[in-house]
A and B are shown apart, each in its own frame.
Chain A
Amino acid sequence: MIRVAAVGDVHLAPDVRGRIRPHLDGIGEHADVLLLAGDLTQHGTAFEAEVVADEFADLGIPVVAVLGNHDYQCDMPDEITGLLRASGMTVLEGDGVLLDLPGGRLGVAGTKGFGGGFPGRAASDFGEPEMKAFVRHSRELAEAMGEALRGLEADYLVALTHYSPVAETLAGEPPEIYPFLGSYFLAEAADSANADLCVHGHAHAGSECGTTPGGAPVRNVALPVLQRAYAVYGLGEPASLAARPLVT
């Protein structure tokens, strides 16, 4: 079994430095990998990225992250990505990573993702240029992640995003803002590769558990949803625990 720890929306900055770190000691005893589902910083500055790098440094297990919308606020996602990578973290955007772990080969592909909504209440690539650009951006990010997932020769596949792939894990948020919280393009991309697990953040008032139309478990790991430093999900044997929260 591969034990996947995950948390998102830590919104770190100097004022909350050290908020998570005490709970990460010994994480290697509970998990084989840690996934970070975006909104790692509050204002998207390089200074805050250094706080993130310190917070998740030297954990003894691989750390794989995607950025979130907050990490784009100061228009320096490349600098933030570079700082996090320099600290040893893997940062994904439309690409994937293959990790050879004791429980098997884990493939993780990721993207920030974007909005647009869910079937029946989704935006279309139609009309004004601004609307077309919005929907195309969302579709292109999702398609890149889908292609990366399909190219990974792994025993288990995880789709890591900031925005949500399904509406189910948004339950608790006002339905009117669902189109700003996720897009079914992300679920479609994950299902195109038969992903075993989807992990996302972004929806602070949402719910932890959902499922894609193709049957993949979806977990909203936003810190305000989990109310704990991270959750751990099991992939593989024992089958009864597959993709169920091990930490509840």
Chain B
Amino acid sequence: MKEDTYVAGQVERALAEDPRTHELGVRVEVDSDAVILRGEVAGEERRRLVGEVAAQEVPELTVRNEVTVTEVLPPEEVMP
């Protein structure tokens, strides 16, 4: 069985290199039989795909997708 560090590296690489995701800012942590994903992406579909790619990469583990979607707030008060 692979050490957790290698599994985390494998999933991080998949998220960066898979053409469905190309996400470089998702942090991956492996905790016994679970992979935990954290970070921000630009949209809800990308959040879903990050979970999907991770799950396909390590089907033997449970994926906990804690990635959130970056908010885009309007510019606030502008000084004259």
Contact = CB atoms under 8 A, between A and B. Distances in A.
B73 interface: yes
Nearest to A30: B78
B75 A20 contact: no
A228 B25 contact: no
A237 B42 CA distance: 36
* Size band of the interface chain B makes with A: 10 to 19
Interface in B16-43: 19, 22, 25, 39-40, 42-43
A110 interface: no
A30 B75 contact: yes
B75 A232 contact: yes
Contacts of A223: 42, 70, 72
A29 B72 CA distance: 20
A11 interface: yes
A111 interface: no
Interface string B28-72: 000000000001101101100000000000000000000000111
B74 to A, nearest CB: 5
A42 interface: yes
Nearest to B17: A73
Contact of A228 (B42, B43, B73, B79): B73
Contacts of A11: 42
A241 B79 CA distance: 10
B3 interface: no
B71 A227 contact: yes
A228 B73 CA distance: 4
Contacts of B42: 10-12, 16, 19, 42, 223
Contacts of A247: 75-78
B75 A43 contact: no
A23 interface: yes
A70 B22 contact: yes
Interface of A: 10-12, 15-16, 19-20, 22-23, 29-30, 42-43, 70, 73, 204-205, 223-224, 227-232, 234, 241, 246-248
15 contacts: A15-B45, A15-B46, A19-B72, A23-B73, A42-B22, A43-B19, A73-B22, A223-B42, A228-B72, A228-B73, A231-B75, A241-B79, A246-B78, A247-B77, A248-B76
